[in-house]
Amino acid sequence: MNNFDYYAPTEVVFGKQTKNEVGNYIDKYGGKNVLIVFGSDRVIKNGLIDEVKESLNQENIKYTLLGGVVPNPQLSKVYEGIELGHQHNIDFILAIGGGSAIDTAKAIAYGIAEPDKDVWTLYEHTRQAVSCLPVASILTIAAAGSETSMGSVITNEVTHEKRAYDDNLARPKFTIMNPELTLTLPKYQTNSGITDIMMHTMERYFTNGSHMELTDAIAEGLLKTVMKNAKILQADPTNYEARAEIMWAGSLSHNDLTRLGTDGGDFATHMLEHEVSGMYGVTHGAGLAAIWPSWARYVYQNNLSRFVKFAINVMKVDSTGTESEIALKGIEAMEDFYHSIEMPINLKELKVSPTDDEIEIMANRFVASTGGFKGSIKKIFGNDAKQIYLMAR
């Protein structure tokens, strides 16, 4: 087992009606003038924004609204939020939504705190942040885990580059997690979120580094719990208990609990998918499902025992046969699960048809974004990325 530093300071406020407490918690963490960042009009139509306003009014907290955040959140919206922040002397950022809103809020918080710097240079990894406004969230989509993580991902829609920046400065001060807010989500969004949650865990599980028995057990239990409750939601999307299990799993999957004692994780699939969604604007979770099977078949021989353990402990496959056969049965079982929740297992099913030239561009961007390579099970370089894209096509 490797040494590790575990830091997860976000206060989690979980359960029914917790959204009504947002004003109290912003006051607790010193917010007096809040920028509320959100995406679709759904949070206006369902009355959530009005409830948030009322809670802030009760604490005499000022607020400014910034809507219109889209999936694969865009740099132009970040710049818009930074400008609003300067105009209104914003001192706190509240995201209402899922990963896109929260990631946008984090980027805006960096930008307001360092007005003489271009926030995009953080995502280009040409500098490190030195300051950041406090951020919090009301979660409405279980998926990205950004509500308790240090990461954010932003897309430069001009260059089609999708880049991540991780820094503990942006870890949310608190998150309000009310599973009731996810009850009306479209099935596709729910299922894409489920895939993202699982992949955050699998990226940390599939490594060639050291492992802890306890960390493995947490990861395997999380994956099995999510798959069990995902199937419940296919038949009964209004099942509160299943929604609650999946929402909590989303946070645990990405606050680094499932990487303790390992080398930190693989994350090649995530970086490969970033180039797909950066170029085509596809939903992140669905893109991950479309890439992972090809990545898994490309690398599984590099840590066969890990894939065998996954196949037996998580996917519950028949343990007869050679190790290679068992590992491949585990990959096939995961593909079957993706299909059971209407997720794609290749780019064709994702309805993306990259040309050879576009695959070359994505592979080159993968190299640029990773500094040359990514991966723990197997280091994925530019030619490897190209081969995986071709396999997935």
| Section 116-120 average pLDDT | 97
Percent of the chain with pLDDT over 70: 100
Is the separation of the CB atoms in 101 and 128 below 8 Å? Answer: no
Q: Give me Rg for the CA atoms of the chain.
A: 20
State the Cα torsion 295-297-299-303 to the nearest 10°: 130
Q: Supply the range of the domain harboring residue 227.
A: 187-392
Note the pLDDT tens digit of each residue in 224-241: 999 999 999 999 999 999
Q: Are residues 265 and 282 located together in one domain of the fold?
A: yes
Q: Are residues 75 and 221 located together in one domain of the fold?
A: no
pLDDT class of 1 with cuts at 50, 70, 90: confident
Note the pLDDT tens digit of each residue in 376-389: 999 999 999 999 99
Q: Are residues 235 and 314 located together in one domain of the fold?
A: yes
What is residue 272's DSSP assignment? Answer: H
The neighbour count for residue 292, using CB atoms within 10 Å, is: 29
Final residue before a domain boundary, out of 133, 150, 181: 181
Q: Are residues 98 and 15 located together in one domain of the fold?
A: yes
Note the pLDDT tens digit of each residue in 295-342: 999 999 999 999 999 999 999 999 999 999 999 999 999 999 999 999
User: What pLDDT is attached to residue 181?
Assistant: 93
| Section 147-172 average pLDDT | 95
Domain count, the chain: 2
- Return the CATH number at 317: 1.20.1090.10
Q: Are residues 238 and 359 located together in one domain of the fold?
A: yes
| 133: region left, alpha or beta (phi > 0 left; psi from -120 to 50 alpha) | beta
Q: Which residues contact 120 (CB under 8 A, 6 or more apart)?
A: 75, 154, 156
CA atoms 336, 342, 343, 345: torsion sign: positive
Q: Kindly state whether residue 310 falls inside one of the protein's structural domains.
A: yes
Q: Kindly state whether residue 5 falls inside one of the protein's structural domains.
A: no
| Section 365-371 average pLDDT | 95
* Alpha carbon distance 27, 20 (integer Å): 13
* Alpha carbon distance 92, 176 (integer Å): 15
